[in-house]
Amino acid sequence: MLKREHKVSNISSEAIFAIPAMKPSRVIFASIFCLFLMITDIRYESGSSIRSLSHDVLKPISNLIQLPVYISQTFKVFFSSRVQLEQRVQLLEEENLKLKATNQFMEMLSIDNSKLNYLWSSTNVDKERFLISKKNLLSPNEYQPLLVLDVGRRQSIKIDNAVISGQGLVGRINNIGFTTAEVMLVQDVRSSVPIISGETSLHAALGGKGLGRNGELKFIKKTANFSVGERIYTSGLGKTFPEGILVGEVASVIDPVDSMFLKVYVSFYSNPINQDYFLIDKYE
């Protein structure tokens, strides 16, 4: 056979002959099917129930993937040499000494602390209402980031429960599977959080602009006097989020000439990237 009659594959070094490509009719049919799915998902959120179940299916795999990390850490501790352990003990002893020194300065503060403890107990914060959950997955979708948490079985969490971290508000529960829960982050473009400013006590709705970006307060009149650095808390309006959770701080205030409203950008305190544990507030 003459070489010019065919092309030679880089993959298999074999001759390439006419292999029919996908039929365009099938591609069109598949595209129409996908468009139908997209429209139903946008309008009626048809995919949300299947979505949470799909994470349950993949959960054993994610656990399996974490197993080598766990084993390697255990081995590392087990086989660490005596010298290394002695160094570590010395380091800890030094740290302990520093802490003892710091404690001396804390005596005065402890008096105030006891008063604060009294205040804390008087507010009747039910610690049982919080559930600690571990992160399972964070999707790379910039505008609609998806955080999946392992919540275990038979947890009494509900859709719209607030999710918080040490830094502040993370988002709210969007879907619940058998052992996982999906969180709509405050950075999500679909998210809207009723907030109140710390100093000026102004109410507004905070919309997300995507992960890694500042949020924006919606429809702020030009008479409003937000200041840069001012802290933002949840207002509790609409009863989706409990009142008083820290959300972020005002990053910038812009007064556009061609608009009736101010552009107030808020930097979020919480960031789900490289963070493993979250609290679900089972507030109703």
Partner 1 sequence: MNRSFKNKSWIYLSLFLAVVIDLYFFPESILFWKPLLTLLVLIYWNMALPDKVGIFEALFFGLIMDLLNGSILGLHGILFVLITYICQRFFYQFRVSPIWQQSAILFFLFFIFKMAFSFDFFSSSTGFHVSDSSYITNAFIFAITSSLFWAPTFFILRELRRRKVKF
Residue numbers at the binding site for partner 1 (CB under 8 A): 7-12, 16, 19-22, 24, 26-27, 30-31, 33-38, 40-42, 46-47, 50-51, 54-55, 58, 61-62, 65, 137-146, 182, 189-190, 207, 209-213, 216, 273-274
Q: How far is the CB of 219 from partner 1 (least distance, A)?
A: 12
Q: What's the rounded Cα separation, in Å, for the pair 236 and 206?
A: 13
Q: 171 — phi, psi (to 5°)?
A: 170, -155
Q: How far is the CB of 278 from partner 1 (least distance, A)?
A: 14
DSSP strands (E only) in 99-214:
130-138, 146-150, 162-164, 169-176, 180-185, 192-197, 203-207
Q: What's the rounded Cα separation, in Å, for the pair 207 and 42?
A: 18
Residue 182 or 249 with smaller CB distance to partner 1: 182
Closest by Cα among 247, 253, 246, 204 to 225:
253
Residue 129 or 213 with smaller CB distance to partner 1: 213
Q: What's the rounded Cα separation, in Å, for the pair 143 and 27?
A: 28
Decide if 196 contacts 209 (C-beta within 8 A).
Answer: no
Q: How far is the CB of 230 from partner 1 (least distance, A)?
A: 23
* 27-47 per-residue burial string, b: 16 or more CB within 10 A, e: under 16: eeeeeeeeeeeeeeeeeeeee
Q: How far is the CB of 174 from partner 1 (least distance, A)?
A: 9
Q: How far is the CB of 33 from partner 1 (least distance, A)?
A: 8
Residue 164 or 183 with smaller CB distance to partner 1: 183
Residue 21 or 257 with smaller CB distance to partner 1: 21
Residue 114 or 139 with smaller CB distance to partner 1: 139
Residue 73 or 225 with smaller CB distance to partner 1: 73
Burial of 156 (0-12, 13-18, 19+ CB in 10 A): exposed
Q: What's the rounded Cα separation, in Å, for the pair 89 and 85?
A: 6
Q: How far is the CB of 243 from partner 1 (least distance, A)?
A: 25
Q: How far is the CB of 74 from partner 1 (least distance, A)?
A: 20
Residue 145 or 168 with smaller CB distance to partner 1: 145
